[in-house]
Amino acid sequence: MPYAHITGWGKCIPPASISNDEISEIVDTTDEWITTRTGIKSRRVSHVSTAELATVAAKHALACAGIDAKDIDLVILATCTPSTVVANTASQVQKNIGATGAAAMDTNAACSGFLYALQAATAQIQAGMIKKAVVIAAERMTWYVNWARRDSAVLFGDGAGAVVLEAAETPAGLLGTKTGCDSEDRDILHITNFGSDLNKYEPIGPSDLLFEGREIFKRAVKGMSEACDDVLEQANLSLDDINVLVPHQANLRIIQAIQHRLKVPDEKVMVNIADYGNTSAATIAIALCEAVEQGLIKPHSNIMSAAFGAGLTWAASYIKW
Ligand code: ACO
């Protein structure tokens, strides 16, 4: 059975940022509150669409892999902020990058989306159905943000990351994974007044991103830690074998609590939430790229990654770089 090596990676970080002090001029909050509760110092706000963010990240990843877009068999885009729903956003990216021979599909598992998409593309390569894929996670979360609500306005940001997968014979890439969804409590994190559930013949109120922060916090820590334990057991590894932990970046205190539970030292954890906030599916894709840039991830590094998000979806993955 072939493996799906990660041969290229790239990101798109929107140039415009909003600092905590600037947000404090819009809503009733402070840099001190945001920093101590979340670890976020600023977030990026995109002036272009999710498809454009995804396109830039994918082009960087293809250039890094040194392959022609025409050789790609699958473009898979993880997003909960699609530019368009019909046609799907991945088709726009396929067109923009010139991957004319590729299938194109969107996946939505919110913050867990990148790991879900990585699993789906890897499975197709392992099954021999395809040979090369671009897995992208791109989000324009600020498009959902109600800037009058201080609870959500401070948390989210925009950005994209991508990896190229290629079939190869030696064991590397995604080597262990577990995904799941605690759907009975899906309402504790949702967007109101959005989607085809609505009666289109009645007036639709403004949509809002609503969540029960404390409950999500607890579930995220438990869900991500337990999923990591399961994947390690499945792969017959211990945390000592892991070189880098790349967690979803929703709150620095969530990351620290997972670190504490798993007993992972600071120097093994990739954290960039201070600069970007929560970019949903894109956090792990961007963090992987930056961990490589910073030398934290090296060739053959063993990486554990975990995510938790709306759905309530969760995922953990063991990746050999
Ligand atoms: N500035 C100042 N005060 C605020 C702000 C703000 N931006 N936001 C909320 N508050 C107030 C609340 O109104 C509340 O006031 P009250 O006590 O008078 O009612 C008080 O701060 C405490 O609110 P809590 O919700 O208890 O604060 P908490 O310490 O739990 O931090 C946070 C809130 C940051 C949202 C945290 O719960 C969290 O990170 N949760 C998980 C992340 C999350 O839900 N993300 C959504 C996406 S899902 C995901 O990515 C996993």
Nearest CA to ligand 1 atom 51: 309
Q: Are residues 186 and 132 in the same domain?
A: no
| 166 and 207 part of one domain | no
Given this model, what pLDDT does residue 265 score? 96
Last residue of a domain, one of 137, 153, 171: 171
- Residue 80 sits in a domain whose CATH number is 3.40.47.10
Please tell me the residue having the least CA distance from ligand 1 atom 1.
29
Identity of residue 119: Q
Q: For the chain, what percentages of helix, strand and coil (3-state, to nearest 5) are there?
A: 40, 25, 35
The DSSP secondary structure of 99-152, one letter per residue, reads: -TT-EEEEE--GGGHHHHHHHHHHHHHHTTS-SEEEEEEEEEGGGT--TT-HHH
35 within 8 A of 20, measured Cβ to Cβ: yes
| One domain for residues 302 and 282 | yes
Tell me: do 48 and 179 sit in the same domain. Answer: no
Q: What is the pLDDT of residue 207?
A: 87
* Single-letter code of the amino acid located at 145: V
CA of 199 to the centre of ligand 1 (A): 31
Radius of gyration of the chain (CA): 19
| Pair (127, 246) in one structural domain | no
3-class DSSP assignment, residue 305: strand
Complex prediction ipTM: 0.94
The domain in which residue 150 lies consists of 3-171
| pLDDT tens for each residue of the chain, 321 residues long | 799 999 999 999 999 999 999 999 999 999 999 999 999 999 999 999 999 999 999 999 999 999 999 999 999 999 999 999 999 999 999 999 999 999 999 999 999 999 999 999 999 999 999 999 999 999 999 998 999 999 999 999 999 999 999 999 999 999 999 999 999 999 999 999 888 888 888 888 888 999 999 999 999 999 999 999 999 999 999 999 999 999 999 999 999 999 999 999 999 999 999 999 999 999 999 999 999 999 999 999 999 999 999 999 999 999 999
User: Is the same domain home to 141 and 180?
Assistant: no
Closest CA to 73 of 166, 159, 180, 148: 166
* Number of domains making up the chain: 2
The answer on 194 and 79 residing in a single domain is no
71 and 162: one domain?
Answer: yes
Residue 194: DSSP 8-state: -
CA distance 235 to 228: 11
Cα separation, 217 vs 251, in Å, equals 8
89 and 116 co-located in one domain: yes
- Please tell me whether residue 175 adopts helix, strand or coil conformation: strand
Domain boundary (171, 201, 217) is at 171
Rounded to whole angstroms, how far apart are CA atoms 283 and 110? Answer: 11
Task: Supply 278's token pair.
Answer: 């929560």
Q: How far apart are CA 69 and CA 277, in angstroms?
A: 31
If one residue of 23, 35, 37 were mutated to test the ligand 1 pocket, choosing by the most ligand atoms within 8 A of its CB, it would be 37
**Collapsing DSSP states into helix, strand and coil, what is residue 173?**
strand
The predicted structure's pLDDT at residue 267: 96
248 has catalytic annotation = yes
- Domain edge (last residue) among 124, 152, 171: 171
Positive or negative, the Cα torsion across 234, 239, 243, 244?
A: positive
Q: Which of 63, 76, 55 is nearest to 9 (CA)?
A: 63
Residue 189 pLDDT: 94
190 & 218 share domain: yes
The pLDDT, as a whole number, for residue 206 is: 84
- State the DSSP string of 15-73: S-EEEHHHHHTTSS--HHHHHHHH---EEE--SS-HHHHHHHHHHHHHHHHT--GGG--
122 lines ligand 1 (CB under 6 A): no
Q: Could you tell me if 145 and 184 lie in one domain?
A: no
The active-site residue out of 248, 251, 289, 302 is 248
Q: What is the distance in A from the centroid of ligand 1 to the CA of 130?
A: 43
CB 278 near ligand 1, within 6 Å: yes
pLDDT at residue 89, as a whole number: 98
Q: Are strands 313-320 and 173-181 parallel, antiparallel or unpaired?
A: antiparallel
**Lookup: tokens for 177:** 């994974």
Residues 130 and 205 in one domain: no
Tell me 204's DSSP state.
Answer: -
Length of the chain: 321
